[in-house]
Amino acid sequence: MTATAVVTGASSGIGAATARGLAARGYDVVLVARRADRVERLAAELVGAGHRARARALDVTDRAAVDAFAAELDSCDVLVNNAGGAVGTETVAEADPADWRAMYEVNVLGVLHLTQALLPLLVAGGAGTVLVVGSVAGHVVYEGGGGYAAAKHGAHALAATLRLELCGQPVRVLEIAPGMVKTDEFSLNRMRGDADAAEAVYAGVPDPLTAEDVADAVVWAVTRPQHVNIDLMVLRPRAQAAQHKVYRVAPEQG
């Protein structure tokens, strides 16, 4: 029987790249995201390439919708909790609590909703895997990142706690924590659509991580032998030694 992998946030970036990677490894991939047109187009691409894929429009913060989605599945062997994101770079003193709430709901409660809803299937399959795409922000804080760091710390705590609670059950709990990744939407969304501000995040940085780099790590972790648990993998580009230590090439002087 073909193993089924559910990937959230599959409409773009790391989620879409992960879906492609898992499909290429033979998984029946269920693409989950709010934007139906995006996941339907990706599912069609994968099916056209000879893979197995299905699209499902879903908001991971809507528990009733998540439960209805879970009820439609006959099986689930892998859950990649990738849906997430950051909003704003304001200081703690100036941040809008609504932004913090939105980040917590998608980065933490979204993971909780999908994990709770699909856990019975993951256990029943006898070899389940729950993977959380976290962030280095879930381990080290930085100025202007309070809300995002708090949310990703929450996602890390959820994964670590779940691993303890499932000890002895046939389900692995993995976490991949990327550093600086340049995708089409992450920084653009964080900067509220300001393309110049979003591009400035990566200015002068040689070779930041790509969505495919992170997806490669996700697929590798998921496809290890079932007795191997990748508790935590931190990925950074070589140019990023730490949150506050990033090598940037100075622009040429005219």
Torsion of CA 32, 103, 14, 25, to 10 degrees: -50
* 76: its two tokens: 């689930």
Mean pLDDT of the chain: 95
**Is pLDDT at 253 greater than 80 in this prediction?**
no
Q: Could you say which of 27, 104, 148, 202 is catalytic?
A: 148
* Cα–Cα nearest to 190, from 172, 202, 205: 202
Distance CA 141, CA 146 (A): 7
Does the annotation count 148 as an active-site position?
Answer: yes
Q: What is the pLDDT of residue 154?
A: 98
Residue with tokens 């709901």: 105
Query: What is the widest separation between alpha-carbon atoms in the chain?
Result: 64
**pLDDT number for residue 111:** 98
The 10s digit of each residue's pLDDT in 33-92 is 999 999 999 999 999 999 999 999 999 999 999 999 999 999 999 999 999 999 999 999
| pTM for the model | 0.95
pLDDT at 142: 94
Element (H, E) at 129: strand 128-133
DSSP string, 138-200: GTS--TT-HHHHHHHHHHHHHHHHHHHHTTTSSEEEEEEEE-SB--SSHHHHHTTT-HHHHHH
Return the exposure string of 139-173: e unless at least 16 CB atoms fall within 10 Å of the residue's CB, then b.
bbeeeebbbbbbbbbbbbebbeebbeebeeeebbb
pLDDT in tens, 206-228: 999 999 999 999 999 999 999 99
For residue 101, name the pLDDT band (cuts at 50, 70, 90): very high
254 confidence band (pLDDT: 50, 70, 90): very low
Residue type, 8: T
